[in-house]
Chain A
Amino acid sequence: MSDLLRLFFVIAFLTLGLAAYFLVVSTLFPNRVARTKSAIQSTPARSFGIGLVNFVFFAVIAIALFSGAEKSGPFIKTLLTIPALLITALLATMLSFGLAGMTSLIGERILPELTSWRQSILGTVCLCFACAPPFVGWFLLFPYAGLVGIGAFILGLFQREPKS
């Protein structure tokens, strides 16, 4: 029972932190998040494909660099670790924007009458708890949401500003 309670607390704290995180991301970069959200809405399958291709590529490169750094001397280790960390940071950034757009879209679809920040919080809570169940949440829903998010972020980079 106490393990279950502990798990619940971990998920609850994580949800709280992530809700604030996505809210801040949406507030600081509203255009970027809006474009990501629009890409998820209009082309989810393409977003997933682009997300998968790019995630695999960058993850392989990062693992290869980290792995190479482990086996090398101090100088080469530093030389390889820096790009590896940069690639990891790039992946984390893409994932952050992607999930911020995803949570906003989920919130909007569940309760369209709410304000945008409430929709973002609602989306984060729903996504966090939906990704918590073992196996289906960990290995299906979360990778899907993450990869669609990454792909939508990349697609959003190529979207043009609407002509005024």
Chain B
Amino acid sequence: MGNHLLEVKGVDVLYGDVQVIWDVSIHVEEGTIVALVGANGAGKTTLLKTISGIIHAKRGEILFSGKSLTRLKPQEVVDIGISHVPEGRRLFSNLTVLENLKLGAYPSRARPLFAESLERAFSLFPVLKARKGQKAGSLSGGERQMLAIARAIMAHPDILMLDEPSLGLSPIFVKTIFELIYALNKQKVTILLVEQNIHQALKIAYQAYVLKTGKIAISGGGDELLADPEVQKAYIGERWSKR
């Protein structure tokens, strides 16, 4: 076994009295793309929120480079190198594109690297440079998703967690976003990806987990799951038959 960059061990998460995550364990190797897939309400978003400290696990442990972050607050988690692009982008829409990016570099680990990060963000997303003085709220859906990702990488994360980055985007933008995720990964950013676009996600994932009602149902390599008849029947086939 290699060194796990991120390790979730036997985590239980409850909203009030309702348990939504049951004894989930996943691990993310450095430099890889790990996909977390499954139906709506399976607990994918909750798991990301638990890792980033927005909610805290009732039981279990989360380790990052061997250090526990189970009890850390979100502002502390981002400062040790885990950036979370939440579902729905959650941009500051009354702030300009540049202001959003500046806040992305708010963690102390990122501030000295601001100029360099901004250049990287603008070279990955040239459209943001052209729109840097515009309010984030005035961007198109695809541009918003780009800004959300750009803002997250301003923090110089070791791991980037993306929650449904393709949600609500046109097919062309979906393709662009997946290409970007791939490109970021080539720049040594480890990616933990939550997606409903299961086919696309499994295609780029090294390792994948299928969550079902708060439990890990199947796990394995991305290609492996893509070929798995059970996965095809339950998730991918279902999506195709809808079209």
Co-assembled chains A and B: no
